Amino acid sequence: MISSAPSKVILFGEHAVVYGEPAIAVALNLRTTVMVERASDYSVNGYPLNDRYHRYIKNAITLLWDGDPLKITTASAVPSASGMGSSASITVATVAALLGLKGEAYEKNVALNSFEVEYFTQGSGSPIDTSTVTHGKGILVSNRMMDNFLWSVEKNKTRWYIHHLEVPPLKLVVGFSGVKGHTPEMVRKVRRFYEWSTFARDIIKEIGKITMMAIEPLENEDYVRIGELMDRNNRLLTILGVSHPLLKKMIEAARKHSYGAKITGAGGGGCMIALTDEQDEVARAIEEVGGKAYKVKISQKGYEIQS
């Protein structure tokens, strides 16, 4: 069984989504492929299945598979710990392959089980990454049911409603700092601030408001307004303490040729994104300050079962 899944970036709402605030994410055309075959022993890319190096794969097997051992082969174009959803991409591709072997790989089932695997592995988080990677295109996560509803997820008394969101063919450049972010650590850092400070709670709510304000300009292809809101979102994320010196440099460099630019994902390293009509110029500016640039497209495809 061969399956694949895209990567993703969060356009608006990272960290706030953990607390039930809305967020918007889009799938990207960088993909991960997973092939599973029945075997005498468990292995991943020729090595024994290992809890340290193959946590998401191992936990997917633990939660979803009770059959024969499997030989697993993976290939990915998604940089690890970058903010582009590498863990969600490998998780969804693995879950889709395992469910495919059982004849149960329909979209909602893949999405819900992938979230359970990622949450089990990280100990926290929201379903935004796994839902985006499963569905493809764009999604809106909110705390209430709206138009284009897909499914809902509940964890620890927080319920997220997942919706399809129409997004234009955005021209994005992702700048990877080369500094691997650690999502659980960043989530815990923000939680400490959130629980200690009413100011932090106000920031989280403001990020949620910005997300909802972005829906109309996205539908209307108002790139100037989208960029303005990205910049506002980034300032709030910086106040939450999830930026990094190189991320700041890349964002400032990219803004000269962009509608807007911001951190994407958990932060503390990882990636930033820029919305632009000048992808080559933005990519060059990012790499001049020490980042690695990816000119990306929105993926219309979520997970795929290839055989």
167-219 pLDDT, tens digit each? 998 999 999 998 877 777 888 888 899 999 999 999 999 999 999 999 999 99
- Find the radius of gyration of the CA atoms of the chain: 18
Residue 304: predicted pLDDT: 97
Overall average pLDDT of the 238-247 stretch = 92
The string of pLDDT tens digits covering residues 120-131 is 998 877 899 999
pLDDT for 80: 77
Q: Which residues are catalytic?
A: 129
**Domains of the chain (ranges, CATH numbers):** 2-167+300-305 (3.30.230.10), 172-296 (3.30.70.890)
| Mean predicted confidence (pLDDT) in 233-262 | 95
Across 36-56, average pLDDT: 94
Average pLDDT for residues 292-303, to the nearest whole number?
A: 93
Chain mean pLDDT for the chain? 93
Q: Can you give the three-state secondary structure of the chain, one letter per residue?
A: CEEEEEEEEEEECCCHHHHCCCEEEEEEEEEEEEEEEECCCCEECCEECCCCCCHHHHHHHHHHCCCCCEEEEEEECCCCCCCCCHHHHHHHHHHHHHHHHCCCCCHHHHHHHHHHHHHHHHCCCCCHHHHHHHHCCEEEEECCCCCCEEEEEEECCEEEEEEEECCCCCCEEEEECCCCCCHHHHHHHHHHHHHHCHHHHHHHHHHHHHHHHHHHHHHCCCHHHHHHHHHHHHHHHHHHCCCCHHHHHHHHHHHCCCCEEEEECCCCCCEEEEECCCHHHHHHHHHHCCCEEEEECECCCCCEECC
